[in-house]
Amino acid sequence: MKIEQIIASATARAVNALYGVEVDENSCIPQKTKKEFEGNLTVVVFPFLRASKQAPEATAQQIGEYLVANEAAVAGFNVIKGFLNLVIAPAYWAGLLHEIDGDDQYGFTKATEQSPLVMIEYSSPNTNKPLHLGHVRNNLLGYSLSRIMEANGNRVVKTNIVNDRGIHICKSMLAWQKWGNGITPEKAGKKGDHLIGDFYVLFDKHYKAEVATLMNEGKSKEEAEAASPLMTEAREMLRRWEAGDEEVRSVWRMMNGWVYDGFDETYRRMGVNFDKIYYESETYLEGKEKVLEGLEKGIMYRKEDGSVWADLTGEGLDHKLLLRSDGTSVYMTQDIGTAKLRFIDYPIDQMIYVVGNEQNYHFQVLSILLDKLGFKWGKDLVHFSYGMVELPEGKMKSREGTVVDADDLMNEMEATARETSAELGKLDGCTPEEANEISRIVGLGALKYFILKVDPRKNMTFNPKESIDFNGNTGPFIQYTYARICSVMRKAAEAGIDYRKTDVSSVVPTNKEIELIQRLASYPATVAEAGRTYSPAQIANYVYDLVKEYNQFYHDFSILREENEAVRAFRLMLSANVAKVIASGMSLLGIEVPERM
């Protein structure tokens, strides 16, 4: 039983014994004692004053005396107003460290065949451009969330929906046909997604030039945009695609293939993956069918122009378009179709969409519509809404080619990691292969940690230089501490020291060691809270606090040079389990930790 539960149960017994009143143990759960006070756990006694009919200080004093006399885990206490600060017996903490040491899956709950099946959608790229910084935050959040949900005992299916149809795709295709001269990724020496992205930018450049010319001839901006021959051609290409024109479809399949190869390379490098990928070109017709089914059942209605709508005024919203008058679908229709296919493929208990906060309204509507259409998880779908990410220079625009590609960003992060590590001497003695691997792990770790440590709901600015710092709340700081502990454990092994073969039962932990064990003890609750709130930031900041605490311990206490064999073994056990939890927490963020740095 966790110490918090032990104290809560004992406190409830104390209130009953002292005042003859039964209280809910949940009202007795202690919190961690503030650093400025002596103690490990604090019980707030204000909820018990009605029962005690005494002042807070007197109530706390009486409960404290009862706990010292009747609960072996409590060694002492002090009272600050209505706060009862309890000192937990050192022997308890030593026993708890042994329990943690014996649990290879510490902090995690194992899934069973009966566990809830949670589907998580993330990434959602367009096939007209490479993945960019915004996609990086999306992918890292989605992948980390999938790891956290698994750690909480759920079965998880990771999915991606690729936006592979629409006018934006036709723009890249048309530009390639007009100005590509048969270029391929192989001929260009470029990843396919980057090559296609270049043509998307090229289309916009020519389109803007056309619009400017037409405006110079006296047309308004709206008239010029409507009259643009290039945009007219793109719309005609989309019409032909939707009609199944094989010539257009052939180019579309070829260019999408180039993009998928590029995406796969980026995903592998980023360390994210998917169990199932859906394509909007395959789901939009399914959505149309489902909407027409809803029309027959009276869930939707048709206007005079033939368009199909949903009346959501009863839910405090407005009327939502689902099929245009020409029968073509909108994004909402596609999402309904994707939901239908997913529900056929998997018995989903919960659906989580990782999509930016600009789509909050969209998912509010989607939840209502899916519920009306009979999807059991529709009402409770989760929109994991996150804020935008920018660089210090400001916003990015795909059409103008000012977006930071994910690949370029990862290249920069690895190069900066190599440069910084070399300056600090952390690559001394490394082979070129080892230096490359450390630079990769540190660079990507810095990128992932900097993004994931921020509350997902907040907008953020990603600063590459700030993220690679071996001091402070950064990935490299955590990775270096892990490598430092690995170095200690290697030296112990080389000296023939195995802490598991030494009796440490006589060791009385110091206050600093108790603080570390208490922090380790809170890891399972942190994992559970991160799953409940869908927040990788909870894990990131927990690991940072643990590492900060350990570094103070490392600075103040001898480990391998400690002469007392039992104390030395105890500190090695403590260090090994700090390293275990660091690696575990970082794995939930999708971050590797190097054993040498």
Find residue 87's DSSP bridge partners: 76
What's 73's domain CATH number?
3.30.1360.70
| Opening angle at CA 127, ends 122 and 131, nearest 5 | 55
Nearest in space to 97 (alpha carbons), one of 3, 232, 177: 3
Mapping DSSP onto H, E and C, the string for 354-373 reads EEEHHHHHHHHHHHHHHHHC
Per-residue model confidence (pLDDT) at position 401: 45
Domain boundary among 390, 420, 452: 390
Q: Would you say residue 283 has pLDDT above 60?
A: yes
Q: Rounded to whole angstroms, how far apart are CA atoms 569 and 498?
A: 7
Separation between Cα atoms, residue 273 and residue 159, nearest integer Å: 9
Average pLDDT of the chain is 93
Distance CA 3, CA 518 (A): 9
Q: Give the whole-angstrom CA distance, residue 566 versus residue 47.
A: 43
Q: Over pLDDT 90: what percentage of the chain?
A: 84
Q: Is the pLDDT of residue 145 over 70?
A: yes
- Concatenated DSSP letters for 95-119? HHHHHHHT-TTTT-B---TTS-EEE
Q: What are phi and psi of 79, to 5 degrees?
A: -120, 130
93 in a structural domain: no
Could you tell me if 68 and 213 lie in one domain?
no
75 and 135 share a domain? no
Q: Of 364, 390, 416, which marks where a domain is finished? A: 390
List of residues 6+ apart from 37 with CB closer than 8 A: 78, 80, 83, 85
Of 505 and 309, the one with more pLDDT: 309
**Mean pLDDT, rounded, for 82-111:** 94
Instruction: Tell me the per-residue pLDDT of 574-584, one tens digit each, with 9 for 90 and over.
Output: 999 999 999 99
Residues 78 and 160 in one domain: no
pLDDT higher than 70, residue 143? yes
Residue 400 has pLDDT above 50, yes or no: no
Q: Would you state the pLDDT for residue 398? A: 41
Give a yes or no: residue 104 inside a domain: no
If asked whether residues 502 and 529 sit together in one domain, one would say: yes
- Residue 574, pLDDT score: 98
Count of structural domains within the chain? 3
Q: Burial code of 74-104, b = ≥16 C-beta within 10 A, e = fewer? A: bbebbbbebbbbbbbbbebbbebbeebbeee
Q: Quick one: average pLDDT of 45-72? A: 95
- pLDDT, mean of residues 260-271: 97
Q: What average pLDDT does the segment 214-219 reach? A: 92
Cα separation, 391 vs 64, in Å, equals: 53
Looking at the structure, do residues 84 and 125 belong to the same domain, yes or no? no
Digit-coded pLDDT (tens) for 449-508: 999 999 999 999 888 888 888 888 999 999 999 999 999 999 999 999 999 999 998 899
Among residues 88, 106, 129, the one where a domain terminates is 88
> Looking at the structure, do residues 250 and 284 belong to the same domain, yes or no?
yes
Same domain, 438 and 336: no
- In this predicted structure, the answer to whether residue 567 has a pLDDT above a threshold of 50 is yes
In a domain, 7, yes or no: yes
Q: What is the pLDDT of residues 110-141, one digit of tens each?
A: 999 999 999 999 999 999 989 998 999 999 99
Is the same domain home to 288 and 325?
A: yes
User: Is-contact 489 576, C-beta < 8 A?
Assistant: yes
- Residue owning tokens 């292969």: 433
- Phi, psi torsion values for 393, nearest 5 degrees: -75, -15
Grade residue 403 by pLDDT with cuts at 50, 70 and 90: low
How is 222-288 classified by DSSP, letter by letter?
A: HHHHHH-HHHHHHHHHHHHHHTT-HHHHHHHHHHHHHHHHHHHHHHHHHT---SEEEEHHHHHHHHH
Provide CB contacts within 8 A for 362, sequence distance 6+.
Answer: 331, 332, 335, 355
Q: Beta strands 350-356 and 382-386: pairing type?
A: parallel
Residue 94 forms part of a structural domain: no
Residue 397 lies in a domain: no
Task: Give yes or no: residues 65 and 145 share one domain.
Answer: no
Overall average pLDDT of the 161-173 stretch? 93
564 and 493 together in one domain: yes
Range picked from 61-65, 285-289, 398-402 for highest mean pLDDT: 61-65
pLDDT confidence tier of residue 402, bands split at 50, 70 and 90:
low
Predicted model pTM: 0.91
In a domain, 526, yes or no: yes
Task: Please compute the mean of the pLDDT values over residues 186-193 and round it to a whole number.
Answer: 96
Q: Is residue 108 a part of any domain in this protein?
A: no
366 and 423 fall within a common domain: no
Q: Is the dihedral of CA 353, 354, 356, 360 positive or negative?
A: positive
Q: What is the C-alpha separation between 539 and 375, in angstroms, rounded? A: 32
Domain with 257, as residue range(s), is 117-390
On the 0-12 / 13-18 / 19+ scale of CB atoms within 10 A, 222 is exposed
Burial of 333 (0-12, 13-18, 19+ CB in 10 A): buried
Confidence (pLDDT) at 204: 94
Kindly state whether residues 382 and 243 are assigned to the same domain: yes
State how beta strands 301-302 and 276-279 pair. Answer: unpaired
- Whether 473 and 161 have beta carbons less than 8 Å apart is answered as no
* Residue 349: CATH number of its domain: 3.40.50.620
First-to-last alpha carbon distance for the chain, in angstroms, is 38
Where does 112-190 show beta strands of DSSP type E? 117-121, 155-162
Q: What is the pLDDT of residues 527-554, one digit of tens each?
A: 999 999 999 999 999 999 999 999 999 9
Residue 594 in domain? no
Whether residue 515 is predicted with pLDDT greater than 60 in this model: the reply is yes
The answer to whether residue 389 scores a pLDDT higher than 60 is yes
The CATH number assigned to the domain holding 560 equals: 1.10.730.10
